[in-house]
Amino acid sequence: MELIYSLVDFIMHIDKHLVDIVNDYQTWTYLILFLIIFAETGLVVTPFLPGDSLLFAAGAILAKPETELNIFVLWGLLLVAAFVGDWVNYHVGQYIGPKAFSGKYKLLKREYLEKTERFYDKYGGKTIIYARFVPIVRTFAPFVAGVGSMSYRKFASYNVIGAVAWVTGFLFIGYFFGGLPVIKDNFTIVVFVIIGLSLLPPIIEVLREKFSKKTA
């Protein structure tokens, strides 16, 4: 319970915690943020780690004149973390295969595999790009792509596009706009808005599916 509270507190006050990390660890901050982004995208057991809000907050903090870290160095490192994370997740899914959804693991239900594969059938490889902007889904999408029938060559191209769009978008939006007084003074609210907007697409999809079943 204490771990959950600490995680929620870290996400809700991520700007303050990142400032502490930068002040305490200086250049090691690059590695810490790299590992968080890698784990959030590459390890199917850590979908709860911050992604969008972390990138936004990191960009906002690096925009401060007193911060000695370089935004372009961080950008390059986080691009690698996001790409390698999905790459590892894909190959783990490919290695484990459909048996991962046999019911042994509570988080990995067969219905997740079937629903995600239908999503792939509908949107194709672009699913990898769309998933980047949806918390939790971005952790499961590459794993399911590896379990399913998507070739690595096709997956890799969408992985690159998704990583560049996601990291560049949130990091530099934070860098250029995170310092505005209205955002800086209401950062927790901004974090809630980012999370809410990220969760909106899957919520709409669930409601649409339920509504279509009732009218069928």
pTM: 0.85
For residue 23, with 0-12 CB atoms within 10 Å meaning exposed, 13-18 middle and 19 or more buried, which class applies? exposed
Alpha-carbon Rg for the chain in angstroms:
18
Euclidean distance between CA atoms 147 and 48, whole angstroms = 21
Domain extent, residue 48, equals 2-215
Contact 166, 197 (CB under 8 A): no
Count the domains in the chain.
1
pLDDT at residue number 59: 94
Per-residue pLDDT of the chain (216 residues; tens, 9 = 90+): 665 667 667 777 788 888 899 999 999 999 999 999 999 999 988 888 889 999 999 999 999 888 889 999 999 999 999 999 999 999 998 888 767 666 666 666 666 666 666 667 777 778 888 889 888 888 888 988 888 767 888 899 999 999 999 999 999 999 999 888 888 888 888 888 887 777 776 666 666 766 766 665
Name the DSSP class of 45.
T
Contact 170, 55 (CB under 8 A): yes
Euclidean distance between CA atoms 44 and 53, whole angstroms = 19
pLDDT at residue number 114: 67
